[in-house]
Chains A and B, each alone.
Chain A
Amino acid sequence: GENVGLHLPTLSVQEGDNSIINCAYSNSASDYFIWYKQESGKGPQFIIDIRSNMDKRQGQRVTVLLNKTVKHLSLQIAATQPGDSAVYFCAESTGANSKLTFGKGITLSVRP
C-alpha cells in the first residue's frame, strides 16, 4: 500500500549545526507535503509545506526540498537550537480535499 516513512527514528545534532531530516513517500500521485514539529505534551505544529509544482521552499531557518523523481522530501534546519528539539513528522496528501497521511516521526535531539 501507499505509505509515508522516515529513514531514521532519531537524529542527534550539535547546537549551531544544520539539521537535515529526511522522508520518503511512495505515492507518486501525492501533490502536497507538509512538515510538523511536535514538542513533548503538545499537538503537532505546522512548520512548512510545499506543493508538487515546487522543488524548494524556504521559511525562517527552515527549508523544505522535494525530489519527485525519487519521491523524497527533506527538512533542513539552519543553526539548530535547543528549542528545535522535538519530534518531526512529514505528511502528504493527494489533492486539495484529500486526507493527510503521516509518517511515524523522527526525534531531533540538540546537544548543547
Chain B
Amino acid sequence: NAGVTQTPKFQVLKTGQSMTLQCAQDMNHEYMSWYRQDPGMGLRLIHYSVGAGITDQGEVPNGYNVSRSTTEDFPLRLLSAAPSQTSVYFCASRRTSGTQYFGPGTRLLVL
C-alpha cells in the first residue's frame, strides 16, 4: 500500500489564484481529513469526511472547499488564495475507529 499520498509537494501561488491540493489513500479508509500546520499553532482541522459524499467543516474552514466523490480521493480547493493561507497542509485518513495516518504534506506559499 502507498498509504496517504499528497500532490504537489511544494507550490507557490499569487494572491487570488486558485488551486487544488490532491490527497489519495489506498487503504479503503472511510474517514479523511485536511489539516494545516503553522508555527506555534499545531495541527488545525480544515475539513473532514466520514465517507464518500459526506463532508463537514473543521476548526478553520474559511477559504477552503472539499469534495469526496470517491472513497480514495479527498481534494482540497483554494478558490482565491490569500497570504494567510501560506502553510503546510496535511491530509490524513483512518478507519472509523482506527489509527489516523498522515500524508507527507504540501508546502504552500502565497505571495
A interface with B by C-beta (< 8 Å): 34, 36, 41-46, 49, 89, 91, 96-97, 99-100, 102-105
Contact = CB atoms under 8 A, between A and B. Distances in A.
Looking at chain A's contact residues, the main secondary structure is loop
A103 B90 contact: no
A43 B102 contact: yes
A108 B31 CA distance: 30
Contacts, number: 45
A105 B99 CA distance: 19
Contacts of B44: 102
A96 B42 CA distance: 22
B75 interface: no
B42 A105 contact: yes
Contacts of A105: 42
Contacts of B42: 89, 102-105
15 contacts: A34-B100, A42-B105, A43-B103, A46-B99, A46-B100, A89-B43, A91-B43, A97-B50, A97-B97, A99-B58, A100-B33, A100-B100, A102-B35, A102-B42, A102-B44
Interface in B67-111: 90, 96-97, 99-105
